[in-house]
Each structure stands twice: as C-alpha cells, then as structure tokens.
Amino acid sequence: MECSLDKKNCKPCEGGVPPLGEDEIAKYLSEISGWARAGAGIAKTYRFSNYHETMAFVNMTAWVSHREDHHPDLFVGYNQCRVEYVTHAIGGLSENDFICAAKIDSLLSI
C-alpha cells in the first residue's frame, strides 16, 4: 500500500486500477472500524442524535467527496446515514475506496 489509511496526505481517489483481491480487501477492512462488505463495495452506518447532526455529517461527507472526486452512495434518515463506497469504473473496490472511508471516519474525530 502506498500510504497508510491513517495518514492525512494520501493520494487522491481515482479510478483506472484493477479491483483489489479478497486478501487486500480483508487487510484494508481491518484498518477501518465499523466498515463491512456490502455487495461489491463497503459500507458503514453512522448514527446521530438528531436530524441536524445527520445533515451536518452529510454536508461534510459531500465536501470530502467533492475534494477527492470520489462519491459514495448516501442513504439518509432522521438520525443516521449509511455510506457506501465502490469504484464503479473498475467494478469493485480500489485502495481509494478505503482511503476515502478513512477520511469520512476522520470527520467525526475532529
């Protein structure tokens, strides 16, 4: 791996690489808490106290996604948001899915 998922200055998210194998996926999943396989991708549900906190998280996620040019699917409810990453261009998971997942996690540790 070019960079650890906990580093702040990882390469930006991009396509054009082969999908990760199962061993690599298992290794990267072990580095991000609460994320799990979801079909061809990975997903995590974040829970909040109210709608305002949920929408603040959604907006922060949109900001990170725009900066990285790698956009997850978001499923928003009153007090929760499910985030799903997959690199559609390669039909599977890339290192960048895990980097972006770690960056989304870091939003809540500020």
Residue-range domains of the chain with CATH: 38-107 (3.30.1360.20)
Query: What is the pLDDT averaged over residues 19-36?
Result: 97
Nearest to 51 by CA among 15, 83, 79, 88: 79
What are the tens digits of pLDDT across the range 68-84?
A: 999 999 999 999 999 99
Under DSSP, is residue 47 helix (H, G, I), strand (E, B) or coil? strand
Q: How far apart are CA 91 and CA 34, in angstroms?
A: 23
Label residue 1 by pLDDT band (50, 70, 90). very low
Task: Specify the pTM.
Answer: 0.86
Say whether pLDDT at 2 is over 60: no
Q: How far apart are CA 15 and CA 97, in angstroms?
A: 10
Say whether pLDDT at 7 is over 50: no
The mean predicted confidence, pLDDT, of the chain is 89
Residues 36 and 43 sit within 8 Å (Cβ to Cβ): yes
Q: What is the pLDDT, as a whole number, of residue 5?
A: 54
From first CA to last CA, the distance across the chain in angstroms is 25
